[in-house]
Amino acid sequence: MNKLLALCMGLAVVFLAACGGEQSVDDDSADEATVERIPVEVASARLGTISAFYAATATLEADGQARVVPRIAGQVVELLVEEGDVLRAGDVMARIDDERLALELARAEADLSRLQQDYNRHREMHQRDMISTEVFERLKFEFDAQKAQHDLVKLELSYTNITAPIDGVVSERMIRVGNMVNTVDPIFVLTALDPLRAVLHVPESELSRLLPGQSALLHADALPGEEFLGEVARISPVIDAESGTFRVTIELSDTSGRLRPGMFGRFSIVYDQRDNVVMVPVDAVLTEDGRSSVFVISDGEAERRPVVPGYRNNGDYEIAEGLSAGERVVVTGQASLRSGSPVLVLGDPTGLADPTAIASHTLAETVLDDET
């Protein structure tokens, strides 16, 4: 009986040991099959064109502006333009009372007509030696003086029509009908809208990069989503010693008429452009202690790779060294990564980015299904 009892207990121990071993093998297989992968988002490095530019802000100004002042004093009897009207040089803007000057012109014309007849008659007499040269020349001087007086009155009469001195738009009107005006105070402001200009105060470190004729792109806050093209018109050769900046003047020709003086604008002056360069999103590039790197996806794992970035523009970095077009880099989720970390690529059907890794992943799933 004792021997039988001991045999039964030995068999029980062996059975339990065998069951425990199988459980351990199954646990190890499950651990291998359920490796924790870090979710990330990726983007492909691509070839493209990137530009280098200097960015600054400035307020648009009118390149031409005229404060219209009457050439003669008088009372305004008619207004022909209003604020916002677009004019050509020479267009009549207002009229001043011309009654007195019209009468003076009529008298000057009558006196000139009388002297004209006297001059013609005395010229014939002088040709026949019927009067002396002294008498004839005195009459000629009187005639010339009267003609000048006539022309002067006629000119002053023309000044009663106040005209636009330049092409532009009426930006301000300071008078009304019935007001008395003089030859000192302006009565209109006329602003030329084409071209417009902006003056940038640029740090001296950019002096060697900027040149007249370079393109300048404008984005105006008042016109979101729209882009306007201008160019660098001139660059001051003098650097302000106090601010360490120099003046760069940009001109823009806006045929649409949407830009206005006083608008706040953001300018980008393009000073270099590179074609067929490797580009990645800015979010993919990590910079620590002055060194840059990216995480590249390979065989379902993340590999940290040092790179040399170049120009940055429109949310992209140029990668001068360290990366090839077509390689996939992590743009979201880098904080949890180390070289060799397994990753789960969001947006990919398998969660992996490499075809070899996808095949291995599928094979592993098949083996697990068979064991099940």
Count each helix (H run) and each strand (E run) in the chain, helices first: 4, 20
CATH superfamily of 54-63+190-273: Efflux pump adaptor protein, beta barrel domain (2.40.30.170)
At 153, list the tokens.
């009155």
Tens digit of pLDDT at every position of the chain (372 positions): 444 444 344 445 444 444 444 444 444 444 444 568 889 999 999 999 888 889 999 999 988 889 999 999 999 999 999 998 989 999 999 999 999 999 998 998 888 888 888 778 878 787 877 778 887 788 888 888 888 989 999 999 999 999 999 988 999 999 999 999 999 999 999 998 888 999 999 999 999 899 999 999 999 989 998 899 999 999 999 999 999 999 999 999 887 878 888 899 999 998 888 899 999 999 999 998 889 999 999 888 899 999 999 888 878 999 999 899 999 999 998 888 888 889 898 876 544 544 444 433 333 333 333 443
Measured N-to-C along each axis, helices 2-33 and 355-371 cross at an angle, to the nearest 10 degrees, of 160
Identify the CA nearest to 316 among candidates 303, 329, 306, 305: 329
Query: What is the tens place of the pLDDT at every residue in 293-321?
Result: 999 998 888 999 999 998 888 789 999 99
pLDDT at site 349: 52
133-141: long-range contacts, CB 8 A cutoff, minimum separation 24: 139/115
DSSP secondary structure code for residue 240 in this structure: B
Tally of residues, the chain: 372
* Domain limits, the chain: 38-49+275-371, 54-63+190-273, 79-181
CA-nearest of 338, 339, 304, 307 to 323 is: 307
Tell me the backbone φ, ψ of residue 319, rounded to 5 degrees: -105, 105
Do 213 and 271 form a contact (C-beta atoms < 8 A)? no
Question: What's the pLDDT score for residue 348?
Answer: 65
- Looking at residue 369, what is its pLDDT? 39
Tokens of 322: 């360290």
* Closest to 140 (Cα-Cα) out of 168, 121, 161, 162: 121
What is the topology classification, in CATH, of domain 38-49+275-371?
A: 2.40.420
- Per DSSP (E only), the strands in 215-315 are 215-220, 228-235, 245-252, 264-281, 286-288, 291-298, 301-313
Residue 273: its pLDDT value, please? 85
